[in-house]
Amino acid sequence: MKITGIELRRIAMPLVTPFRTSFGTETERDVLLVRVVTPDAEGWAECVAMSEPLYSPEHVDGAAEVLRRFLIPALPADADAYGAGRAMEPFKGHRMAKAALETAVLDARLRAGGQSLASFLGASADRVPSGVSVGIMGSVPELLDTVGGYLAEGYVRIKLKIEPGWDLEPVGAVRERFGADLLLQVDANAAYTLTDASHLARLDEFGLLLIEQPLANDDMVQHAELAKRLRTPICLDESIDSAAHAAAAITLGACSIINVKPGRIGGYLEARRIHDLARAHGVALWCGGMLETGIGRAANLALAAMPGFTLPGDISASRRYYATDITPPFELQDGYIGVPTGPGIGVDPVQDVLKEVTTATEWIPF
């Protein structure tokens, strides 16, 4: 099965509400989609790079450029996902761009063979528990109303974004309002330093599942030191961009939980390597989110259905972020979302919707 061409498609997806974190506020996603075309099937993938290099050094314009100039020209026409990974390996970094191309190739191959991504990865569940990530709000009452709304919809876990000045009070208010049984965790997106250890230790009283990425992404040693000072488990996100980094973090004691985002680590093959490593060392996993459309959400559901993903992830219903998704919408049912069972990622774009939100396309023939 040879690749005949690859399409890079940009779409503009307005968010239902602005999403604020410690590194910025998003109101619309400028999404790069990759479509790999073969005589037997088409494969789809979503690049999760943001418009600006705030979450990571990557950004969507840069991802499109590195795909166009370097990664796609290096790809053998008969490559499978493993071959795609080998072809891209000489190029440093750009894991989100690499993940998109590898995943689109993998999706095309699996569709041609009639196998689902969930089956390929070794998933053991047909549905996954759904948590929701709540951005930084303008006030505590607004936050409480928002959290209450998500709990009424059936979400089984709440994640609160925090930053200096927005941490103890909102977390305490949510815990007090919704009780000790609420599965609650926080995400700092690297907003603190080790000098804040005593302050962060005050979060221990709220019985959190975890505190995610409290320190800078390159501070594994300081995360290990912070872990000694907190009862709350530390989860790493931005610090983990490969299985090798996951192994280093585990060895150092920098975390006891890992948030796996396939785009951040270079794709689903590397995500499976981290899964196997973490299970061997008793480290809990959960699948994070990057405000994906249905294309990225479908693939993440397959990953989150693997047996090592024991904590609820950030894979929420489509309407959490988008009034109209580019695929048939994913719906929340009793706190869970079903894992697609069709070939590949198991979903296809709705062509009328896709056409409406498309801002640019580029066809690269092989």
Does 322 have pLDDT greater than 80?
A: yes
Q: State the amino acid at position 180 in one-letter form.
A: A
Q: Across residues 307-333, what is the average pLDDT?
A: 95
pLDDT band at 21 (very low <50, low <70, confident <90, very high): confident
The model's pLDDT over 85-116, given as tens digits with 9 standing for 90+, comes to: 999 999 999 999 999 999 999 999 999 999 99
pTM for this predicted structure: 0.95
pLDDT band at 179 (very low <50, low <70, confident <90, very high): very high
347 burial class (0-12, 13-18, 19+ CB within 10 angstroms)?
Answer: buried
The model's pLDDT over 232-251, given as tens digits with 9 standing for 90+, comes to: 999 999 999 999 999 999 99
Average pLDDT taken over every residue of the chain: 96
Residues near 89 by beta carbon (within 8 Å), at least 6 away in sequence: none
Q: Across residues 266-285, what is the average pLDDT?
A: 97
pLDDT the model gives residue 232: 98
pLDDT band at 46 (very low <50, low <70, confident <90, very high): very high
pLDDT the model gives residue 18: 82
pLDDT band at 22 (very low <50, low <70, confident <90, very high): confident
pLDDT the model gives residue 1: 76
Q: Across residues 155-179, what is the average pLDDT?
A: 97
pLDDT the model gives residue 24: 75
Does 143 have pLDDT greater than 90?
A: yes
Q: Are 38 and 2 in contact (CB under 8 A)?
A: yes
Nearest to 301 by CA among 287, 290, 311, 291: 287
DSSP state of 355: H
pLDDT the model gives residue 160: 97
Does 20 have pLDDT greater than 90?
A: no
pLDDT the model gives residue 26: 83
Nearest to 318 by CA among 334, 302, 296: 296
Proportion of the chain above pLDDT 90, given as a percent: 95
Does 33 have pLDDT greater than 80?
A: yes
Pairing relation of β-strands 257-260 and 284-287? parallel
Q: Across residues 17-43, what is the average pLDDT?
A: 90
Please give the domain boundaries of the chain with CATH numbers for all domains.
Answer: 5-114+348-365 (3.30.390.10), 119-338 (3.20.20.120)
By annotation, the residues acting in catalysis are 161, 261
The model's pLDDT over 117-130, given as tens digits with 9 standing for 90+, comes to: 999 999 999 999 99
231 burial class (0-12, 13-18, 19+ CB within 10 angstroms)?
Answer: exposed
Q: State the amino acid at position 8 in one-letter form.
A: L
Centre a 10 Å sphere on the Cβ of residue 252 and count the other Cβ atoms it contains: 14
Q: For residues 213 and 315, what is the distance between their CA atoms, to the nearest angstrom?
A: 19
The model's pLDDT over 47-97, given as tens digits with 9 standing for 90+, comes to: 999 999 989 999 999 999 999 999 999 999 999 999 999 999 999 999 999
pLDDT the model gives residue 25: 81
Does 340 have pLDDT greater than 80?
A: yes
